[in-house]
């Protein structure tokens, strides 16, 4: 057993002992539970204590109990995988996704508990955002497991045996998030100015000892030539990025590796980024491989030779037996990942429905000058904090979807020709809880037709998004919308589901599709002012000023 988990079980035993001793003369109800979405459930799982207990005490206890429940659920998944060898391929795939996600939940909950257990009843804004982000991701991971099981042909008994603990865990995680948000999350001071606050410098690299041990493309050779002596990341003033080590991938065998997967395997484990990024330079070529950046492969910087020059491609799809979660050509969960100048593709085609090009569940991740190409479900912004700058995203149905806190800035969303009878929805955001700090923010982007749609021979209704989950949240700010956007702007998911609980907003957009006079009349739809829109800028929504400068990618912190 990992030493961290041994520490957890020791703390858990001590905490339960203290709680049982303090609850001998407990009052009949727990008033703190009124802060949560499930007050009755909260009272059933959090024991009443004496009157001195407060939201912080219960917040710590609920996170601890969540960690225990996550451990129990992970063991349950292992048992099902062992005792049901006759499951369908898709049933096994869904369970394996659940196991992967439950393991992440254990990590996130352990980190969260260590933070809240060692902190006073106050926390710096960025530290509180870290914990709120992790607790938000735990709910997202649990919902993803549930969605995968529901979409498979698993036996009813399997679904029934797993759905009950899944439902209970979801409520417990929601209680933990609510209590943490009530106790530790303060309202951020929002900037409402109209100027950018981030770095405007070009992306530059500082190599170890100033030496360049291989031949870069002309583009990156120019970048290297512009770099002076090596500087530390902490200076950050010139947008230069420190590189600790580097390897080169080329298909002709002339460099370190011929596959991207082998280069990723060579990267160090659990780097904290203080010594710089591990650089994987992928030379021009079409790489037909499925790449996964694991949770212990942190602070990797992957650079290609440019969009449509370095291409990573695959063709997995839901129709061909993959779960949506595992259909991705490229997936990443390793913290601090940065990709530059790469095209990511899923070539399954519109006929295969869900087929993901990239699934991103990496905190503090950035994609700069990249292209994402598929049809339905192109880019899965699954969880945690993400930033996309000057990227191209191609798709049809729900082609940007998930429940990260994700910001797209200066990007192009290209609307492709869907199957006959389908409509286009740019986004399908998956927020399931009102306390999650997640959403999709689209800022200074362009939404227009790709070449195949422009040449299409039938009319296609196109919408900015639709509510995948109950508290779906998407904001378009200062973006250009072409004439293809339907006057209603937004589309239902299923009847009146989430029309009142979602948050959809538009702020100072441009172009023929930006006219808001005919938009939907849902109570969840808003035309917002600068004060409200400032909540969804890079500086405020992602707290990007705290982490984006170290990766050297240009960004605008406020409005343009």
* Spatial CA neighbour of 107 closest among 129, 134, 81: 134
Do 234 and 179 have their domain in common?
no
* Spatial CA neighbour of 102 closest among 148, 58, 54: 148
Percent of the chain predicted with pLDDT > 90:
75
Task: Let me know if residue 502 belongs to a domain.
Answer: yes
Task: Let me know if residue 436 belongs to a domain.
Answer: yes
Catalytic residue among 57, 97, 398, 433: 398
Averaged confidence pLDDT in the chain: 88
Task: Let me know if residue 7 belongs to a domain.
Answer: no
C-alpha to C-alpha distance for 144 and 152, rounded to whole angstroms:
13
Supply the DSSP string of 301-363, one letter for each residue: EEE-S-TTTEEEEE---TTTT--STT--SEEE-STT-EEES-EEEE-S-GGG-B--SEEE--T
| Contact yes or no for 387/410 (Cβ under 8 A) | no
C-alpha to C-alpha distance for 65 and 80, rounded to whole angstroms:
23
C-alpha to C-alpha distance for 159 and 274, rounded to whole angstroms:
44
Do 139 and 279 have their domain in common?
no
Residue located via tokens 């990227």: 391
The string of pLDDT tens digits covering residues 421-466 is: 999 999 999 999 999 999 999 999 999 999 999 876 568 999 999 9
C-alpha to C-alpha distance for 486 and 463, rounded to whole angstroms:
6
Do 448 and 391 have their domain in common?
yes
Do 59 and 112 have their domain in common?
yes
- Intra-chain end-to-end CA distance of the chain, in Å: 51
Do 178 and 268 have their domain in common?
no
The string of pLDDT tens digits covering residues 22-70 is: 443 344 567 899 999 999 999 999 877 656 779 999 999 999 999 999 9
C-alpha to C-alpha distance for 310 and 372, rounded to whole angstroms:
12
Per-residue pLDDT, 202: 57
Task: Let me know if residue 110 belongs to a domain.
Answer: yes
Helix (H, G, I), strand (E, B) or coil at 111: helix
Q: Is 266 exposed, middle or buried (CB count within 10 Å of its CB: 0-12, 13-18, 19+)?
A: middle
Task: Let me know if residue 84 belongs to a domain.
Answer: yes
| Contact yes or no for 516/506 (Cβ under 8 A) | yes
Per-residue pLDDT, 91: 86
Q: Final residue of a domain: which of 163, 184, 205?
A: 184
User: At 51, phi and psi to the nearest 5?
Assistant: -70, -10
Total count of domains within the chain: 2
Task: Let me know if residue 95 belongs to a domain.
Answer: yes
C-alpha to C-alpha distance for 289 and 265, rounded to whole angstroms:
14
C-alpha to C-alpha distance for 356 and 343, rounded to whole angstroms:
13
CATH number at residue 176: 1.20.140.40
Task: Let me know if residue 363 belongs to a domain.
Answer: yes
Per-residue pLDDT, 188: 61
Do 177 and 225 have their domain in common?
no
Do 118 and 228 have their domain in common?
no
Do 172 and 257 have their domain in common?
no
203: DSSP letter: P
Q: CB-based contacts of 422: which residues, under 8 Å, 6+ apart? A: 350, 396, 397, 460
Helix (H, G, I), strand (E, B) or coil at 195: coil
* Spatial CA neighbour of 32 closest among 187, 186, 183, 185: 183
Helix (H, G, I), strand (E, B) or coil at 269: coil
Task: Let me know if residue 30 belongs to a domain.
Answer: no
Residues lower than pLDDT 70 in the chain: 1-29, 49-51, 153-157, 188-239, 456-458
Active site residue 377: no
Per-residue pLDDT, 53: 78
The region, left, alpha or beta by phi > 0 then psi within -120 to 50, assigned to residue 443 is beta
Do 158 and 263 have their domain in common?
no
Do 385 and 506 have their domain in common?
yes
Which residue segment(s) compose the domain that 65 sits in?
52-184
Do 218 and 168 have their domain in common?
no
Q: Final residue of a domain: which of 130, 165, 184?
A: 184
Do 305 and 446 have their domain in common?
yes
The string of pLDDT tens digits covering residues 548-557 is: 999 999 999 9
C-alpha to C-alpha distance for 254 and 248, rounded to whole angstroms:
9
CATH number at residue 395: 2.160.20.10
CB atoms within 10 A of CB 122: 11
């Amino acid at each position: 057993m990992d030493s961290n988990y041994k520490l957890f079980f020791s703390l858990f035993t001590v905490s339960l002992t203290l709680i049982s001793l303090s609850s001998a003369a407990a009052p009949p109800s727990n008033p703190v539970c009124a802060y949560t979405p499930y007050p009755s459930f909260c009272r059933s799982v959090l024991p009443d204590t004496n009157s001195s207990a407060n939201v912080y005490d219960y917040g710590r206890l609920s996170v601890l109990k969540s960690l225990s429940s996550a451990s129990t659920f992970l063991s349950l998944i292992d048992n099902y995988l062992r005792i049901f060898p006759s499951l369908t391929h898709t049933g096994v795939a869904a369970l394996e996704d659940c196991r992967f996600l439950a393991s992440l939940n254990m990590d996130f909950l352990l980190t969260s508990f260590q933070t809240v257990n060692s902190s006073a009843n106050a926390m710096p804004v960025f530290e509180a955002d870290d914990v709120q982000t992790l607790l938000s991701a735990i709910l997202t991971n649990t919902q993803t497991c549930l969605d995968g099981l529901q979409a498979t042909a698993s036996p009813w008994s399997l679904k029934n045996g797993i759905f009950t603990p899944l439902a209970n865990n979801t409520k417990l995680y929601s209680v933990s998030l609510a209590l943490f948000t009530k106790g530790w999350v303060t309202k951020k001071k929002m900037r409402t100015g109209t100027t950018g606050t981030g770095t405007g410098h070009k992306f530059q690299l500082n190599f170890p000892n100033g030496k360049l041990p291989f031949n870069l493309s002309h583009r990156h050779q120019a970048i290297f030539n512009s770099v002076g002596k090596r500087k530390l990341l902490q200076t950050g003033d010139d947008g230069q990025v420190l590189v600790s080590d580097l390897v080169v991938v080329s298909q002709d065998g002339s460099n370190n590796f011929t596959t991207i997967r082998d280069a990723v395997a060579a990267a160090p484990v659990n780097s904290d980024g203080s010594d710089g990024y591990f650089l994987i330079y992928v030379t021009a070529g079409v790489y037909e491989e499925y790449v996964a950046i694991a949770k212990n492969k942190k602070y990797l910087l992957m650079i290609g030779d440019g969009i449509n020059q370095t291409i990573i491609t695959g063709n997995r799809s839901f129709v061909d037996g993959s779960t949506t979660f595992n259909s991705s050509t490229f997936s990443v969960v390793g913290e601090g990942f940065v990709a530059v100048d790469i095209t990511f593709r899923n070539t399954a085609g519109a006929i295969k429905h869900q087929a993901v090009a990239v699934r991103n569940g990496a905190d503090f991740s950035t994609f700069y000058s990249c292209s994402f190409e598929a049809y339905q479900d192109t880019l899965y912004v699954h969880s945690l904090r993400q930033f996309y700058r000057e990227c191209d995203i191609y798709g049809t149905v729900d082609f940007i979807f998930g429940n990260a806190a994700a910001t797209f800035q200066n990007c192009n969303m290209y609307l492709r020709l869907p199957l006959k009878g389908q409509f286009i929805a740019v986004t399908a955001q998956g927020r399931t809880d009102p306390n999650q700090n997640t959403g999709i923010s689209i800022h200074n982007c362009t939404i227009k037709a790709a070449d195949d749609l422009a040449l299409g021979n039938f009319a296609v209704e196109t919408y900015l998004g639709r509510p995948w989950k109950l508290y779906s949240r998407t904001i378009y700010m200062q973006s250009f919308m072409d004439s293809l956007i339907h006057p209603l702007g937004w589309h239902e998911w299923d009847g009146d589901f989430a029309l009142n609980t979602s948050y959809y907003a538009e702020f100072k957009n441009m172009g023929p599709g930006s006219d808001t006079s005919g938009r939907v009349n849902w109570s969840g739809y808003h035309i917002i002012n600068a004060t409200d829109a400032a909540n969804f800028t890079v500086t405020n929504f992602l707290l990007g000023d705290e982490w984006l400068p170290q990766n050297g990618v240009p960004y605008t912190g406020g409005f343009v």
